[in-house]
Chain A
Amino acid sequence: MVRTRKYHSFAIVAAFLLPSLLGFLLFFFLPIVSTLGLSLTRYSGGRTASFVGLNNYLTAFRSRTFQNSLLVTFNFVVFSVLFQILLGFIFAVLLNKQLFARDFFRSLFFLPTVLSTIAVAISFMLILNPSKGPANDLLVFFGLRPLPWLASPRTALATIVSVTIWQSFGYYMVIFLSGLQSINPNLYETADIDGATAFQKLRYVTIPMLTPTTFFCFTVAIIKAFQVFDQIFIMTGGQGGGGPAGSTSVIVFVVYSNAFYHFRMGYASAQSVILLIIVLLITVIQYRKQRKWVGAL
């Protein structure tokens, strides 16, 4: 039912909206527009900036460091997102059944997501210490070869991906759990009457019904993964991090060190615009795919 309504007076709307709107305009909207402008300049944080056109973008795409950071970020996103969502899904399905100590497992799996990433990163640095950490002690105890973890360019990124999965899969488990609980139980009863096996119910009822949830999880996980920074900063050695040999140098880390360490703010802005465009493109593509997929059901 649509009714024509009188607008509220400007003063009243402003009084309610202004606190939030000012924050939005000043610290969100203005910066986003300015990033685009800054990315076209050479600016080192002082009083003057010189216009350089698209030079920063050309430099970025020719830079080995930036190319490498795109690749590292891409690897991080693919592996962290896939495993977080896969594990989130599996444990949501398992913990949606009637099980002994179900609430305990749910809480425990969810717990790491609320903890400080910094504290988690610091702790895993000790646990994964190559020469004396308990993780390698355990591997050796089971007759396996000890791993270099963060100390080798071949394993450093995988280690950080693993720690990220450890901390975050519970988040997606919770989203999947609530998705599962919104599935109409009649569908399962109908499937039972038709003699469907547990696997068939999963394949033909659960997974299709969870498609919107899955898309949502992917969107959130991808946006988050592109922004990974804290773990990398702590676990690879602060401002000089991103190593060994650039193997963990993700986009945000490169943006951070260019902007706030080397004070190449124009250049860093161009890189952050590239990050922004990538994230927006992926989100839009996903959104359109979702409409096609979900609409087809």
Chain B
Amino acid sequence: MGGCTMRWPERLWPKKNYPLGGFLTYGLLILIAALILLPLLFILSSSFKNESEIFTFPYRFIPQNPTLGNFAKLMEDFPRYILNSVKVTAIIVIVQVITATSGGYAFAKLYWPGRDLLFLLYIGSIMIPLHSIIIPQFILIRNLGLYDTHLALVLVSVFTAFGTFLVKQFFMTIPDSLLEAARIDGATEFKIFARIMFPLSKPVVATLIIFSFRYFWNDFFTPLIYITSPKLKTLPLGMADFVSEYYTYHGPQMAASLISIIPVMIVFFAAQKHFVAGIVSTGIKG
């Protein structure tokens, strides 16, 4: 790099980074950043544009005549879709927190025959494609008389291998002596769980909540199988319907996309470390 005389401030290039390598690195990073940002800006900007302005060239990110008309077109069905999504997601997340923490406790701190084998089966279930169990699951739900109900969506999501694993791994780090002391003092298992273990597990429960929230807020396949009534549809399913019915309503489609993205984005920027923790805690164990 002898020919390169330009010196950058040290704080930009702390280590032995050569300017040329730096240019390449930043060039690549900025290129990919643009590729990610531009579609997101497209959604944002198209949501507030007239139909005729969405596809103008040269492209304008700031709408010439900003309008809320696209959102108005969604007023008929989408408030209900959003409400359904909020309701279903909230119930599933709460149920998963209960099953994952209580299950995690049973696997980490209780002793019973077959424990390790069952845990292995739990973990193994992660490898099973959801789609290869969906048909009997569907038949079962239908025979229980739960087809086209929100309860169906909740029931098939009660079991969470990921959540149980996450909580169990965390509970394992809490020394048994703490529990023994409580047991000697006469605390029941329920008291130990409710007063000691559950409060301690706040960070890992936060990770689980955020992970489940993201998954079920975005889940499309399960509602697609179980829900047919328009009044019960969740947001992703409603969006798919809207697109196939009003395929020329591009502005409203983008407005709907924006609505579905924003809650997750807010949670993402507020609690990014939990998203990362969720991925990493399952990942590094290998």
Contacts and interface: CB of A to CB of B under 8 A. Distances in A.
B209 interface: no
Contacts of B32: 91, 109
A283 B125 CA distance: 12
Given A13-B112, A20-B103, A32-B133, A105 B159 contact: no
Nearest to A269: B135
B102 A94 contact: no
Interface in B47-102: 54-55, 57-59, 98-100, 102
B132 A276 contact: yes
A143 interface: no
Contact of A110 (B28, B158, B275): B275
A256 B254 CA distance: 27
A6 B180 CA distance: 13
Interface residues on B, range: 35 or more
Nearest to B263: A116
B253 interface: yes
Dominant secondary structure of chain A at its interface with chain B: helix
A53 interface: no
Contacts of B59: 134, 137
Interface in B237-286: 239-240, 243-244, 250, 253-254, 256-258, 260-261, 264-265, 268-269, 272, 275-276, 279-280, 283-284, 286
Contacts of B58: 137
A204 interface: no
Nearest to B46: A126
A45 B143 CA distance: 11
B218 A115 contact: yes
Interface string A273-290: 101100110010000001
B109 to A, nearest CB: 9
B128 A212 contact: no
Contacts of B235: 116
A132 B258 CA distance: 21
Contacts of A276: 128-129, 132
B156 interface: yes
B225 interface: yes
A60 interface: no
Contacts, number: 276
A216 B280 CA distance: 11
B201 interface: no
A61 interface: no
Contact of A123 (B99, B100, B254): B254
B116 interface: no
Nearest to B241: A238
Contacts of A115: 218, 261, 264-265
Interface in B93-150: 98-100, 102-103, 105-106, 110-113, 118, 121-122, 125-140
Nearest to A111: B268
A134 B264 contact: no
A65 to B, nearest CB: 17
A174 B257 contact: no
Given A30-B136, A134-B59, A178 B284 contact: yes
A51 to B, nearest CB: 16
From A5, A17, A94, A114, name the one whose CB has the most chain B CB atoms within 10 angstroms.
A114
A116 B110 contact: no
B107 to A, nearest CB: 8
Given A38-B136, A119-B43, A20 B130 contact: no
B158 A27 contact: yes
A122 B128 contact: no
Interface in A228-266: 229-230, 233-234, 237-238, 252, 255-256, 259-260, 265
A238 B158 contact: no
A71 interface: no
Given A19-B98, A27-B156, A116-B236, A105 B103 contact: no
A40 B43 CA distance: 47
A19 B102 contact: yes
B260 A22 contact: no
Contacts of B244: 237-238
Interface in B171-229: 189-190, 193, 214, 217-218, 220-221, 224-225
A175 B283 contact: yes
11 contacts: A13-B112, A111-B268, A112-B36, A116-B235, A119-B260, A126-B254, A198-B21, A215-B286, A223-B129, A260-B138, A269-B136
Interface of B: 12, 14-15, 17, 21, 25-26, 28-29, 32-33, 35-37, 39-40, 42-43, 46, 54-55, 57-59, 98-100, 102-103, 105-106, 110-113, 118, 121-122, 125-140, 155-160, 164, 189-190, 193, 214, 217-218, 220-221, 224-225, 235-236, 239-240, 243-244, 250, 253-254, 256-258, 260-261, 264-265, 268-269, 272, 275-276, 279-280, 283-284, 286
Q: Nearest 6 A-B pairs (CB), nearest first?
A: A23-B159, A23-B158, A20-B103, A34-B136, A119-B257, A31-B133
